[in-house]
Amino acid sequence: MGKSSKDKRDAYYRLAKEQGWRARSAFKLIQLDEHFDLFSGVTRVVDLCAAPGSWSQVLSRILIKGESFGRRAWEEKQAEESEALQDHGEGKDEVGRKDASEEQKGRGGELRPRENVKIVAVDLQPMASLEGITSLKGDITTPSTITRILQALDPDTYVDDAEDSGSHPVDLVLSDGAPDVTGLHDLDIYIQSQLLYSALNLALRILKPGGKFVAKVFRGKDVDLIYAQLRCFFTDVHCAKPRSSRASSLEAFVVCEGFNIPKGYKVDPKRPVGLGAQVPVPERKKKDKESLIDGSQRRTVREDGVSVLEFESDDEEDKNRWIAPFVACGDLSAWDADATYHLPKGRVSLDPVQPPTAPPYKRALELRRQQGGLYGRTSK
């Protein structure tokens, strides 16, 4: 498929090039942030499976340069306008509701560059450099990667400690990890879940109490077991689908907030969390409203108004399942990732912002060239 047909088929692919993002994934993070206010109070971030680096670009531009995008940029503009109105004595409305500029200040003026920002990006692939980002070439499934991350976060104060150093220095761990998809659905889902667990085990060792974890997940048959395990470590777990993620894809993101190690549980790198691992379930706040949907599912409306579906079953395995509330993020008016758009006549297709530095297919291309092209061997 040529560049320009991809432009037509995928609005986000085109927009990414127009706006200078290395990959269309940037929009997924921006749309997740629009809904969950992910970067509120955040200065230290680890971006796992980061290449080619569009999520790191988002982090760099929001946290280091103090830029804002999408709905955030619109809100900021509104805030500026209402601030200007306030200067003319036209601030709050008559019932005293907060106006946009106050809400903006409520975020601690975070749309300005922040101090002491530390961002570490990790990927199997090398990543072209980005302002303010320390990038490491490494495998997140390898235990030594965590030592390298901790060293990169605090090179001056890091003390080599095989056990948990106890410093817990990170506000947010992101993981957009994806395996090379084989097309065998069950295998792809399984490998994806292993990447998610690797990211989670890493997060358990570096997140601050109250920290956040966001990771790509494929919504397969047993995804509710993963949600249930995440809920043991985070007070809020959502399954979120940004509008820039194709509706036709199984892809979604778990957004986990309020990191908290359950009482009696010790994070042990030798006994990582994975499917089937036993984790004590922390006590939950009293539910204020419950309604039974059928014999096996219970819809609970929590104090904060979020509606949660829980299983009621005599089957031991079913008791381990939990369905995270589903959230669609991104404006409804945003581009549809599954639609094909007609482009204006004479439009020039742009080159990618950052071509891959060492793509895994490079060697295959070299071999093919040596063998005289795609049909070189068979035509002899």
Cα–Cα distance, 236 to 161 (Å, whole number): 31
149-152 own/partner pairs: CB under 8 Å, 24+ apart: 149/46, 149/120, 149/122, 149/202, 149/206, 150/206, 152/120
Three-class secondary structure of residue 82 per DSSP: helix
Is the Cβ of residue 178 or residue 350 nearer to ligand SAM in the bound state? 178
Residue 338 labeled ligand binder: no
Burial of residue 141 (CB within 10 Å: 0-12, 13-18, 19+) is middle
Which is the catalytic residue, given 216, 270, 286, 362?
Answer: 216
Strand 170-175 versus strand 251-259 pairing type: unpaired
Q: In angstroms, give the least distance from the CB of 247 to ligand SAM.
A: 18
Q: Is position 216 annotated as part of the catalytic site?
A: yes
Taking CB under 6 A as the rule, does residue 358 contact ligand SAM?
no
User: CA 183: distance to chain centroid?
Assistant: 23
Per-residue contact flags (x/-) with ligand SAM for residues 49 to 88, judged by CB under 6 A? xxxxxxx---------------------------------
Per-residue contact flags (x/-) with ligand SAM for residues 178 to 217, judged by CB under 6 A? xx---------------x----------------------
Size of the site for ligand SAM (CB under 6 A): 22
Taking CB under 6 A as the rule, does residue 124 contact ligand SAM?
yes
Q: In angstroms, give the least distance from the CB of 209 to ligand SAM.
A: 26
Beta strand segments in the chain, E: 44-48, 118-123, 133-137, 170-175, 207-218, 234-242, 251-259, 289-292, 297-301, 307-311, 322-323, 326-329
Taking CB under 6 A as the rule, does residue 125 contact ligand SAM?
yes
- Stretch of 77-85, 119-127, 157-165, 203-211 lying at the interface with ligand SAM (CB under 6 A): 119-127
Three-class secondary structure of residue 173 per DSSP: strand
Q: Which of the residues are catalytic? A: 216
> Where on the chain is the footprint of ligand SAM (CB under 6 A)?
22-23, 25, 49-55, 122-125, 139-141, 176-179, 195
Binding residue numbers for S-adenosyl-L-methionine: 53, 55, 123, 139, 176
